[in-house]
Structure 1
Amino acid sequence: MNYQEAIEYIHSTYKFGSKLGLENIKYLLNLLGNPHEELKIIHVAGTNGKGSTSSFIHGVLKTEGYKVGLYTSPYIEEFTERMQINGEKIDKQQLARLTTVVKEKIEIMLSEGKNHPTEFEVGTAIAFAFFAEEKVDYVVLEVGMGGRLDATNMIEKPIISVITPIDYDHMEHLGDTLGKIAFEKAGIIKENNYVVSYPQETEAMEVIKKVSEERNSQLFVADFDSLKVDYSTIEEQKFSVEVLEKSYKDIKITLAGPHQIYNCCMALTVVEALKQYQNIRISDEAIYKGLYDTKWIGRLEILDKSPLTMIDGAHNLQGAQALKKSVETLLKDYKVTFVVAMLKDKDVKGVLKNLIPLMNRVIVTTPNNPRGMAADDLAKELVSFGKNICVCTSVEQAVNKAYKITENTDAILFAGSLYMIGEARSIINNKKKAFTKEKN
């Protein structure tokens, strides 16, 4: 297969749905020679902040000089974003070759009467094969959904397990209480190991503590009591914190939003645990530089300065609450045009309730996904807020409309669906020059 054929094949497996369970992926990886068994893995579960926390950890290890794989999902613009080494996306020809190999093994599975792997299982198998082939030193591996039955949970002995903030999401698969969801996330905790958790809500924290004790794993809970924030702007944030009795002064990061400080502290706790308990060499210099250099697309990412144009991946209640705080602090001096799209199975009312009151103008559109909520239906949910609503049938139309009605001194914010912000990002980056010319 060439690259385009490989991508079409991977996406064609979407029809096999999202099935939690390890039987299929175990069989597929066995046919591939169990590439995951060769890897040293930092396994990251949670509802929000997984990608940013993983990216911070990856950035520090890379800066220290290690060869570091990063596996995340979903992607924003291009599938190759999902598997990277030291910030470089997988080569398209290499992806095509590895996909061909995986497809051949799947055909063997099918001939033996096994079920067809899901799209996420296919992607995970390709990633494991890629990282093993490239002989990386470490892999920062982000869970797709849940943890206990997620395809990434084939690894038997990660060097550390990480659980970021837990919230209500994917409840049809993971359960309808924080305790049930936490139980699924805590499924990545292995025997006689190390765990770093965000300080969760009580119900979730109790579950994580119980599972850690049952599996004789040492649990570290990130502690924000010592956190002192010096400043928080769109361009840069500076803070000091103590983690695992090690003091870090004057840390600077360029990821925007108050929540990224907490994600960074989580990553710092993981890094310090790796140093102290896994004897991994990581210098203070690598920590400071690695955190500062970390970039993560689609998370309060600035795409344009005139007007200030940002995209954010907030698509559930906790994400919307974090974005709300960012808007209140970073965009308080701007009139904001908000472009929103949602998937039908998300907490639409919860997201809107947090964000819409802060916005001056609202544009609704439909994300390019089978689960996408129609723009007209979303507009109906907005009527009670008393805002001026513009309905656009496509993301491109929404982007054009936002630039047309927004002054250069105001701001545009895209959020609500990762599928929508990815498409908006491509459109804006391609059209920036044209937009600027049109404005002037």
Structure 2
Amino acid sequence: MNYQEAIAYIHGTYKFGSKLGLENINYLLNMLNNPHKDLKVIHVAGTNGKGSTSSFMHSVLKTAGYKVGLYTSPYIEEFTERIQINGEKIPKQRLADIIAIVKEKIEIMVAEGKNHPTEFEVGTALALVYFAEEKTDFVVLEVGMGGRLDATNVIENPLLSVITPIDFDHMEHLGDTLEKIAFEKAGIIKENNFVVSYPQQKEALEVIKRDAYDKNSHLLITNYDELRIHHATIEEQQFSVEILGKQYTDIKISLAGQHQVYNCCMALTALEVLRRHRGIDINDEAIYEGLKDTKWIGRLEVLDKNPLVIIDGAHNLQGATALKHSVETLLKNYKVTLVVAMLKDKDVKGVLQHLIPLVDKVIATKPNNPRAMEADDLAKELVIFGKEIYVCNKIEEAVKKAYEVTTSDDAIVFAGSLYMIGEVRSLLVNCENIISYKERFKISPVK
């Protein structure tokens, strides 16, 4: 099996849907000799900020000298982004070799009358086998959806559970109240363990507290009372904070947006727990350097400066709230053209109400996904805002139009769907350079 065949096989399992539950993944992993049993895992759930928080921890542990696996979802441009060790994506042929083995075991499962694993279960099995074979020191494992019945919850005794901000998303699977959603997220808390949580909304926090108490797990809530942000631009932030009684002064991160400072503090709280309660040697130098070196593509990421071009994966209400704050504070001196694409099962109206009032022009387009909202339907939702609207059915056309209608001194923001920003990033970053892209499409930004 080569890489293309392996990826086709993985994506082909999409048709088996998204089934929450641990029976199937446990059966498959047992056939693969239980690769997860000996992994030292930091398990991360939440609605938003999971990936960034995981990436901060991964970078610090790597800087401290450890071999660290990172499992996240979804990917922005390429599937291999989801499975990394020390910042290096899983080699394509290695992925193919492991998937060949996984496929063989799945065929036996199905022949025995078991349900076919879902796409996420296949990806999770792939990651766990790879991390076990590579003998990683630690694995930062991000939940796909929910927590309690997510495939990653096969981890029985993590070093630590982390729960980032909880909000409304995937309600058809997780429930229609914060309490129900929090119940699913809190499912990653294990008996006699440690859990770090964001200071959630009241309804969610009560659920987490109760679950931690019932499982005799020690709960630590990240405290932002002593947080002082000294400097914030689209390219760098500097802040000081006190975490569990320890003072961190003048931390620098390269991720933009106030929410990334909060995510960083979540990671710091988790790292302090690992140092104090799990005996993991992480010196302060590794923390400062690792946080500064953390990269997380597709989140307020700058791709061009003439005009300023930013992509951001704000695809739900909480993500849109964070992007709104960033546009208000970091782009207050710019006129903004927003290129937006949405999946129809998201809170389209809520996202638009947060973002559209802040921008000058809007381009509606369509992500390449079976759940995509048609560009024309999205444009109908935009009419009430009274903005200048353009409709482009293809993302490449939307990129070209955005450059055409935005002055070189202003800004373009692509947001609303990770599937859309992944394609935008491929178009712009994977050209030889931005200039060649502009020349290729004969783009001449208005003066």
Normalising by the residue count of structure 2, what TM-score does the alignment of the two structures yield? Answer: 0.98
Give the structure 2 partner of residue 221 of structure 1.
221
Q: Distance in 2 between matches of 1:100 and 1:297?
A: 29
For residues 379-418 of structure 1, the aligned pairs below 5 Å read 379-418=379-418
Q: How large is the Cα RMSD of the aligned pairs?
A: 0.8
Q: How does 1:133-152 map to 2 (within 5 A)?
A: 133-152=133-152
The alignment of Structure 1 onto Structure 2 pairs a total of residues equal to 440
What is the aligned partner in structure 1 of residue 19 from structure 2? 19
SS at match of 1:167: coil
Partner SS for 2:37: helix
1:44–1:143 CA contact under 8 A, matched in 2: yes
Could you tell me whether the CA contact under 8 Å between 1:239 and 1:250 is conserved in 2? yes
How high is the TM-score relative to the length of structure 1?
Answer: 0.99
Asked if the contact 1:307–1:408 (Cα under 8 Å) also holds between the matched residues in 2, the reply is yes
Equivalents in 1 of 2:244, 2:261: separation in Å?
17
Distance 1:388 1:403 in 2: 15
- Residue 46 (1) aligns with residue 38 (2): no
Cross-structure match for 1:434: 436
Q: 1:307 corresponds to which residue?
A: 307
- Which amino acid in the other structure matches residue 140 of structure 1? V
Within 5 A, what are the aligned runs for 1:233-312? 233-312=233-312
Tell me how far 1:38 sits from its aligned partner. Answer: 1.5
| Aligned residues of 1:403 and 1:435 also touching (Cα < 8 A) | no
User: What is the rounded CA distance, in whole Å, between the counterparts of 2:245 and 2:236 in structure 1?
Assistant: 26
Q: Note the 1:366-381 alignment, pairs <5 A.
A: 366-381=366-381
Deviations 1:41-65 (A, max 9, x none): 0000000000000000001000001
Matched residues in 2 for 1:82 and 1:381: separation? 33
How far residue 361 of structure 1 moved from its aligned partner, in angstroms, is 0.7
Q: Which residue of 2 aligns with 1:343?
A: 343
Question: What is the alpha-carbon distance in structure 1 between the residues aligned to residue 61 and residue 351 of structure 2?
Answer: 35
Pair 1:185 & 2:185 matched:
yes
**TM-superposed deviation, 1:330:** 0.6
Secondary structure (helix, strand or coil) at the match of 2:390 reads strand
SS at match of 2:334: coil
Tell me what 1:317 maps to: 317
Aligned partner letter, 2:274: L
Q: Distance between the aligned counterparts of 1:332 and 1:265, measured in 2? A: 26
Runs of 4+ more than 2 Å apart:
433-440
- Post-superposition shift, 1:359? 0.6
Q: How far, CA to CA, are the matches of 2:156 and 2:87 in structure 1?
A: 26
CA drift of 1:407 comes to: 1.4
- Listed as ranges, the matches of 1:196-207 within 5 Å are 196-207=196-207
Could you tell me which runs of 5 or more consecutive residues in structure 2 were left unpaired when the two chains were aligned.
Answer: none
Residues 342-374 of structure 1, C-alpha deviations (whole Å, 9 max, x = no match): 001100000000000001110000110010000
Shift of residue 439, structure 1, vs aligned partner: 3.3
Distance in structure 2 (CA, Å) of the matches to 1:176 and 1:214? 24
CA distance in 2, matches of 1:435, 1:400: 9
Query: Which whole-Å CA distance do the structure 1 matches of 2:278 and 2:112 have between them?
Result: 41
1:251-278 Cα offsets, whole Å, 9 max, x none, are: 0101001110000000000000110111
Secondary structure, in 3 states, of the residue corresponding to 2:373? coil
State the alpha-carbon separation in 1 of the partners of residues 317 and 204 from structure 2.
16
- Quote the offset at 1:406 in angstroms: 1.3
Q: Secondary structure at the match of 1:266?
A: helix
User: Contact (CA 8 Å) 1:399, 1:428: kept in 2 or not?
Assistant: no
SS across alignment from 2:36: helix
State the 1:430 CA deviation.
3.6
Which residue identity is paired with 2:197? S
Deviations 1:380-408 (A, max 9, x none): 00110001110001111101111111111
Identity of aligned residues (%): 73
Shift of 1:436: 4.5
Distance 1:341 1:46 in 2: 23
State the partner residue of 2:175: 175
Look up the match of 1:424.
424
Please give the alpha-carbon distance, in whole angstroms, between the structure 2 residues aligned to 1:132 and 1:187.
24
SS at match of 1:38: coil
Alignment partner of 2:225: what SS? Answer: coil
For structure 1, which runs of at least 5 residues remain unmatched after alignment? none
Deviates more, 1:423-432 or 1:4-13: 423-432
CA–CA distance in structure 1, aligned partners of residues 9 and 65 of structure 2: 35
Conserved? CA contact 1:44–1:163, under 8 Å: yes
Corresponding residue SS for 1:407: coil
